[in-house]
């Protein structure tokens, strides 16, 4: 594959620039619910422009809806796939974020006409998913447990997101600003000083704290340093403040 990266702004992937950079691309890989890793949602006009491009060029759109269920502001957004009149979207989702990663279970929704081809390729190349795991997850969904689980987790994570943001901001306000996006499972701490985010996450790791450097997620030089930190296991504002103080220490 020859991969072309596309800039992202507050409305998600800048579709026009993508089309300009690679008008004849065979496929576009997108995370419309929450762009990975910036967390912004793809705006409706851009969704339409992307679908239009794919229809005209007979290109595929691979929609990776890896955490669309975790939206804390308003209702979950409909998938890009739901606007797909021409059958150009391959919709993929995973149970890694909404149940747990060790399940190793994901799914792909393809246009009716492609099902046979995908089944063949999957049989030849795919590692397969155990029937037992699939049956258990199916029952879990059918009997309503999954929907209830998602509702509970959305509420819990929504609260933790607020507490984590408040706690980290109160300690780190001088050094970072936090991008609060509508969904996802991590916060983006933008560093106010021009310092290396890679070095900072390396130092955090030495202190037993896990974060990721935004620089490792982009090939753009104008994005600025930032660290990605998960908030879903932070149970109180005090815990967030304690973590903030540890980050502050490694920043020194």
Ligand X SMILES: Cc1ncc(COP(=O)(O)O)c(C=O)c1O
Backbone angles phi, psi at 136, to 5 degrees: -65, -45
C-alpha–C-alpha distance, residues 76 and 146, integer Å: 16
CB 155 within 8 A of CB 230: no
Q: Provide the binding-site residues for ligand X, judged by CB under 6 A.
A: 31, 36, 64, 66, 94, 96, 101, 106
C-alpha–C-alpha distance, residues 176 and 195, integer Å: 11
Q: Choose between 93 and 244: whose C-beta lies nearer to ligand X.
A: 93
CB 32 within 8 A of CB 66: no
Provide the minimum distance between the beta carbon of 63 and ligand X in the complex, in angstroms, as a whole number: 11
Q: Choose between 18 and 167: whose C-beta lies nearer to ligand X.
A: 18
Q: Choose between 104 and 195: whose C-beta lies nearer to ligand X.
A: 104
CA nearest neighbour of 150 among 162, 141, 163: 141
Provide the minimum distance between the beta carbon of 31 and ligand X in the complex, in angstroms, as a whole number: 5
CA nearest neighbour of 232 among 103, 141, 102, 98: 98
Provide the minimum distance between the beta carbon of 182 and ligand X in the complex, in angstroms, as a whole number: 16
CA nearest neighbour of 210 among 229, 191, 225: 229
CB 169 within 8 A of CB 243: no
Provide the minimum distance between the beta carbon of 66 and ligand X in the complex, in angstroms, as a whole number: 3
Q: Choose between 18 and 37: whose C-beta lies nearer to ligand X.
A: 37
C-alpha–C-alpha distance, residues 233 and 181, integer Å: 18
Provide the minimum distance between the beta carbon of 104 and ligand X in the complex, in angstroms, as a whole number: 7
Here the tokens at position 252 are 């020194």
Provide the minimum distance between the beta carbon of 92 and ligand X in the complex, in angstroms, as a whole number: 8
């Amino acid at each position: 594959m020859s991969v072309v990266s596309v800039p992202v702004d507050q409305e998600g992937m800048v579709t026009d620039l993508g089309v300009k950079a690679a008008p004849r691309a065979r496929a576009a890989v997108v995370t419309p619910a929450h762009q990975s890793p910036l967390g912004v949602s793809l705006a409706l006009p851009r969704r339409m422009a992307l679908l239009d491009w794919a229809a005209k060029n007979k290109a595929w759109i691979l929609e990776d809806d890896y955490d669309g269920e975790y939206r804390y502001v308003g209702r979950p957004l409909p998938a890009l796939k739901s606007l797909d009149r021409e059958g150009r979207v391959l919709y993929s989702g995973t149970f890694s974020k909404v149940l747990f990663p060790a399940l190793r279970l994901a799914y792909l929704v393809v246009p009716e006409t492609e099902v046979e081809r995908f089944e063949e390729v999957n049989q030849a190349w795919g590692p397969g998913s155990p029937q037992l795991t699939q049956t258990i997850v199916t029952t879990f969904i059918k009997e309503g447990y999954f929907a209830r689980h998602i509702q509970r987790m959305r509420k819990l994570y929504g609260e933790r997101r607020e507490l984590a943001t408040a706690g980290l901001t109160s300690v780190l306000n001088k050094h970072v600003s936090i991008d609060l996006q509508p969904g996802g499972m991590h916060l983006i701490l933008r560093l106010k000083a021009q310092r290396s985010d890679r070095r900072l996450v390396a130092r955090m790791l030495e202190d037993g704290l896990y974060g990721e450097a935004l620089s490792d997620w982009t090939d753009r030089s104008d994005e600025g340093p930032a660290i990605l930190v998960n908030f879903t296991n932070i149970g109180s504002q005090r815990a967030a403040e304690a973590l903030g103080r540890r980050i502050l220490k490694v920043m020194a």
